[in-house]
Amino acid sequence: MCLWIFLLRIGMGQMDYYENDFEAAMLKDTAAYYSRKASNWILDDSCPDYMMKAEECLKREKDRVAHYLHSKKEHSGCHALLRDDKVEDLSRMYRLFSKIPRGLEPVANIFKQHVTAEGTALVKQAEDAASNKKVFVRKVIELHDKFMAYVNDCFLNHTLFHKALKEAFEVFCNKGVAGSSSAELLATFCDNILKKGGSEKLSDEAIEETLEKVTDLTLARENQTSFEEYLSNNPNANPGIDLTVTVLTTGFWPSYKSFDLNLPAEMVKCVEVFREFYQTKTKHRKLTWIYSLGTYPSSPVDEKEVIEDVDKDRRYAIDASIVRIMKSRKVLGYQQLVMECVEQLGRMFKPDVKAIKKRIEDLITRDYLERDKDNPNLFKYLA
């Protein structure tokens, strides 16, 4: 085995090679060496001289152990580097560990553990101090900023570390804080920010930046995981078919008409099962089902129907983007609104400008926006 691979495996905590291929043989040879030495000393030296030599040898061996052997203690490993914000050392660790197959996995796992512990400590601190809930959300955002910088700079945007960061935040962002869920605190925080910058009187740019940071704190996957665990622990609650539910907060999405449909028996069962599950999470919220946003697996259909379904989904996405932009900006010109909408949706698909214009007109009829009386190309958000 190459020396650098041997050393990296030790750094990753894989001690088998160290213990079996090096340490065991070294201890055996060292014992034999001092056995021969002691046999000669006991014949040639007086008792005081013998003890002095023995003491000197013990001191030298202790120094060698400190300098050359693995201590098997976490004084300067990945946990310590994260704890002490050793950015350069973390970057170096990434470069070295990336050279061996799957070498980054244990590093990413330690990173996830560290972020989870830091976030959980924030939750506990907020619980113990009964502190201002806005302060808690701010600290969560700052924590995300800090470790996102680690992901970008130290770990070169590697997907393993993005995944680790996301999963860590999902863990503690779904814990309760002072009688409220973290999701509720984030929603309240966003609502306060959108009200003319909240108590902090933020600029439009700062509002948008803050909202983008909050949306990075994804919670949906953990809710779905909790739902799956609920089903596995409650056999009688089995909905019978696969069900994935996305819970959206009123006020952050455009309003859609809720239709009363005669659902198939299987879907009625699904709705009831999820409602019962959701009541175990919170008793202060009411679920309103928007069936028009739902999707379902179906048999192959013709191309025209597929295109219609895609167009419908994109209309909803465009609506949400326009509302989010205008809720932040309050007043915006047509060209700038279109440009920002195109930029925001570009991560998912390339929106058609004509489609955006149609969605703007539709939102005007639904009293989300209005044209300026003096300038028809200027739009105002209606709170």
Domains of the chain: 1-27 (no CATH), 82-218 (1.20.1310.10), 221-287 (no CATH), 303-381 (1.10.10.10)
DSSP 98: T
Helices 24-44 & 47-68 angle (0-180, nearest 10)? 160
The DSSP H or E segment spanning 148 is helix 133-149
**pLDDT, position 151:** 92
Q: CB under 8 Å to 360, separation ≥6 — which residues? A: 322, 334, 337, 369, 379
Report d(CA 182, CA 173) in Å as an integer. Answer: 5
The C-alpha atoms of residue 371 and residue 380 are separated, in whole angstroms, by 6
List the beta bridge partners of residue 379. 332, 371
From the list 155, 144, 165, the residue with the least C-alpha distance to 103 is: 155
Give the span between the Cα atoms of 334 and 339, in whole angstroms. 9
Exposed, middle or buried by CB within 10 Å (0-12, 13-18, 19+), for 6?
middle
pLDDT of residue 69: 61
Query: What whole-number distance in Å separates Cα of residue 262 and Cα of residue 260?
Result: 7
Cβ atoms 217, 186 nearer than 8 A: yes
11 Cβ contact partners less than 8 Å away, ≥ 6 residues apart: 77, 93, 96, 97
Strands 176-177 and 180-181: antiparallel
**HSE-up (13 A, CA, CB side) for residue 8:** 21
Cα separation, 174 vs 340, whole angstroms:
31
What is the model's pLDDT at position 348?
76
Strands of the sheet with 378-381, listed across from one edge: 331-333, 378-381, 369-371
| Model pLDDT, residue 132 | 63
Confidence (pLDDT) at 74 = 45
Write down the pTM of the prediction.
0.45
CA distance 136 to 183: 12
10-residue mean pLDDT profile of the chain (383 residues): values are: 52 58 79 87 83 84 71 63 90 84 89 93 76 76 91 90 86 74 68 61 71 58 61 68 67 57 82 82 71 62 64 83 90 92 83 90 90 91 81
- pLDDT of res. 73: 46
Output the CA torsion sign for 293, 299, 305, 310: positive
**Residue 323 neighbours by CB under 8 Å, 6+ apart:** 253, 254, 363, 368
Which residue in this structure is represented by tokens 């972020």? 115
Read off the amino acid at residue 275.
Answer: R
Task: Give rounded-to-5 percent helix, strand, coil for the chain.
Answer: 65, 5, 30
CA neighbor of 323 nearest in space, from 251, 377, 371: 251
Distance, CA of 208 to CA of 327 (rounded, Å): 10
* pLDDT score at 18: 62
Q: Which of the 8 DSSP states describes residue 376?
A: T
